[in-house]
Amino acid sequence: MTAHNTPATTTAAPRRALPPLLTMTDRAAQRLEKLYQTNHAGHLLRIAISTKGCSGHAYDMSFVEQAGPTDEVVVDKGVTLLVDRKATLFLIGSVMDYEVKQLESGFTFSNPNEKGRCGCGESFHV
């Protein structure tokens, strides 16, 4: 109530939009689409976070036939992948890329939640 016995009105601050859970670069989307059309036809890539490595966490990727009951479905650039619900807080705002280097190639993650990586680069901590 205000000084004049009228109900006080409050205006809630507008909520800011949440960043996407995960996005893919064009290279990652193209590579994943190619995998879906060839070796992994009928499967979806599922991304999880496992506890391992020097720094405590590592990205765990596997191909599955269908989404699990707690998987988050992510569609970016027309390509679908799955994220384990337990990994969502670790991955919010991450970008998945596909890199080809002289001696190796594979999916990589640019994760704004990472606070550091181990020396070999296989694990991270938040």
Half-sphere exposure of 56 (CA within 13 A, CB side): 6
Mean pLDDT of the chain: 82
The number of folded domains in the chain is 1
Q: What angle do CA 47, 53, 58 make, to 5 degrees?
A: 15
Q: What is the pLDDT of residues 103-116, one digit of tens each?
A: 888 898 888 766 55
- pTM comes to 0.76
Contact at 8 Å (CB) between 53 and 47?
no
* CATH classification of the domain holding 28: 2.60.300.12
Full residue range of the structural domain in which residue 96 is found: 20-115
Which pLDDT tens digit goes with each residue over 16-62? 666 678 999 999 999 999 999 999 999 999 999 887 655 577 888 99
Model pLDDT, residue 33: 96
Give domain status of residue 14, yes or no. no
Residue at 10 is within a domain: no
